[in-house]
Structure 1
Amino acid sequence: MWIGSIEFDILLGDVHSLKGKRSVVRPILADLRRSFEVSVAEVGHQDLHRRAIVGVGLVSGDRQHVVDVLDRVERHVASRPEIELLSARRRLLDSED
């Protein structure tokens, strides 16, 4: 079993409140869930209105499948015009670890 995760540090555009932040972040989370069938959540910077840490995870029996999905998720997040991707940190674990 392979477990993959990626954590995105993102800067939001013209957002001036936590309510405005939610209106940007929630559609991104829903889109990732729907498009890639992954688990996703805002996992950091919840108290800052222009920053967010978004975590994505998945489990598969095939290492290459996990790598491919994480690659596509990263490209998808990086291409969104309403945010700036500051960094992406990826982890890949084998159940034997």
Structure 2
Amino acid sequence: MYTGTAIFDVLLPGDSRSLKAKRSYVRPIVAALRRLEVSAAEVGGEDLHGRSEVGVAVVSGEHSHVQEVLDACEKLVAGRPEIELLSVRRRVFGQED
């Protein structure tokens, strides 16, 4: 069994100065990621205006499948025109870890 995680640090548009405005950008991203059959949530940056961290987790019996799913998640987030993807932190854990 393999588990993979990714944390996406994103820069939100300038009009996301309120919590309500920030959620209006983060919620659709999380919903789109969940359609890829991963667990997804805002995991950091809740107290920062204009920034957020969105995390995903996936479990699979094959290492290559975990990598493919994380690649698809990264492509989805990077392709969102309303945000800027600043960084991605990825980890894959195997049975030996």
TM-score normalised by the chain length of structure 1? 0.95
Corresponding residue for 2:33?
A: 32
Does structure 2 conserve the Cα–Cα contact (< 8 Å) formed by 1:38 and 1:56?
yes
Structure 1's unaligned 5+ residue stretches are: none
Q: Are 1:21 and 2:22 an aligned pair?
A: yes
Runs of 4+ in 1 over 4 A off after TM superposition: none
Corresponding residue for 1:75?
A: 75
Structure 2's unaligned 5+ residue stretches are: none
Query: What percent identity do the matched residue pairs reach?
Result: 61
Alpha-carbon deviation of 1:49?
A: 2.2
- What SS class does the counterpart of residue 90 from structure 2 fall into? strand
Count of aligned pairs between the two proteins: 96
| Aligned residue identity for 1:56 | V
Corresponding residue for 2:50?
A: 50
For 1:49-96, what per-residue CA distance to the aligned partner results, in whole angstroms no more than 9, with x for missing partners?
Answer: 200011000000000000011011101100100100000010000022
For 1:23-48, what per-residue CA distance to the aligned partner results, in whole angstroms no more than 9, with x for missing partners?
Answer: 110111011101x1000010101011
TM-score normalised by the chain length of structure 2? 0.95
- What SS class does the counterpart of residue 95 from structure 1 fall into? coil
Does structure 2 conserve the Cα–Cα contact (< 8 Å) formed by 1:3 and 1:95?
no
| Aligned residue identity for 1:18 | L
The CA distance in 1 between the partners of 2:8 and 2:2, in whole Å, is 20
The RMSD of aligned alpha carbons is: 0.8
